[in-house]
Amino acid sequence: MDAPWPVRARDLWFAYRGEEWVLKGVGLEAPAGAFVAIMGPSGAGKSTLLRLLAGLLRPQRGSIEVLGQPLGNGASSRPSVGYIPQQLGLVRNMSALENVLMGALGRLRGPAHYLGLFPRAEAEHARSLLETLGIGHKAREKAYQLSGGERQRVAIARALMQRPRLVLADELVSDLDLPRAAEVLSVMRRMGEAQGVTFVVNMHELPLVHEFADLAMVLREGQVAYWGPARSVTWAELEGAPT
């Protein structure tokens, strides 16, 4: 039997109030190991789409399957799904390493982990993720002491600490310069290819999308303006100009 697709969404309609539709008939399918970029201008519905896929919102119409199951109680509560919100959700007074270890809580059993006691293998894995993302030397620093880009990388490491099959990320590398963003995306691509992790990520930089994404969706006014190979997306499609 074939493995289920990590995420499938069909004909999604969503409004925060009344019939002021933020999304209008949006659909998306992401195969295992794919890197999918969601693009579009501010207000196009990108963050709303990620929240729907994460189970934080429910559509008024349409359906979502995550890892082969209809989305019910929220994908964000499943260890196999990592969600990185735009605000990151780090604990300010915890160290970078402690924040990353929080990503293991959904996989582990017993009360000790809630007291900050983790198996040595988990701590080593958390340190390895920070090293891979270029901030191993910041492991003991508190989250509030880190730069915006460093906090983003801690949030990425925390999501990967879940050993997920699907990662949903809102504005994943927005606080990183292009060279550092490329380093982070390269690491994620390698993990996707080696471990079959699927990434669905809101992004803005077209050169990075062309280099690292497999598929791209362009949203404009809540509708799909483009869906297909990432390397075929153009500035004209992003800006709504005639092609």
Q: Are residues 62 and 182 in the same domain?
A: yes
Q: Tell me the pLDDT of the chain averaged across its residues.
A: 84
Q: Are residues 106 and 47 in the same domain?
A: no
User: What is the per-residue pLDDT for 209?
Assistant: 93
Domain boundary among 140, 162, 184: 162
Q: Are residues 59 and 169 in the same domain?
A: yes
| DSSP category for residue 234 | -
Two structure tokens written together for 193: 């290819």
Q: Are residues 119 and 4 in the same domain?
A: no
Domain boundary among 115, 141, 162: 162
111 part of a folded domain:
yes
Q: Are residues 60 and 10 in the same domain?
A: yes
* Residue 75: pLDDT over 70: no
- Kindly provide the b/e burial profile for residues 95-113, where b requires at least 16 CB atoms within 10 angstroms of the residue's own CB: bbbbbbbbbbebeeeeeeb
User: What is the per-residue pLDDT for 80?
Assistant: 79
Two structure tokens written together for 197: 């992790």
Q: Are residues 74 and 134 in the same domain?
A: no
CATH number for position 208: 3.40.50.300
Name the band, by pLDDT with cuts 50, 70 and 90, for residue 159: confident
* Residue 237: pLDDT over 50: yes
- Give, rounded to a whole angstrom, the gap between the first and last alpha carbons of the chain: 42
Q: Are residues 118 and 168 in the same domain?
A: no
Tell me: the pLDDT tens digits for 219-234?
A: 999 999 999 999 998 8
Q: Are residues 65 and 106 in the same domain?
A: no
Q: H helices of 40-168, where?
A: 46-53, 96-101, 120-132, 148-161
Higher pLDDT, 184 or 95: 95
16 part of a folded domain:
yes
Residue indicated by tokens 């949030």: 155
57 part of a folded domain:
yes
CA 28, CA 11: separation in Å to the nearest integer? 9
Q: Are residues 203 and 213 in the same domain?
A: yes
Q: Are residues 169 and 74 in the same domain?
A: yes
Domain boundary among 120, 146, 162: 162
85 part of a folded domain:
no
* Number of structural domains found in the chain: 2
Q: H helices of 54-147, where?
A: 96-101, 120-132
Neighbours of 132 (CB within 10 A): 19
CA distances from residue 108 to 67, 119, 218 in whole angstroms, order as listed: 20, 10, 38
Q: Are residues 156 and 171 in the same domain?
A: no
Max Cα–Cα distance, the chain, nearest Å: 59
Q: Are residues 105 and 209 in the same domain?
A: no
Domain range for 113: 90-162
Tell me: the pLDDT tens digits for 168-219?
A: 988 777 777 888 888 878 878 887 787 788 999 998 889 999 999 999 999 9
User: What is the per-residue pLDDT for 64?
Assistant: 92
pTM, entire model: 0.84
Strands (E), 162-242: 166-169, 198-202, 215-220, 223-229
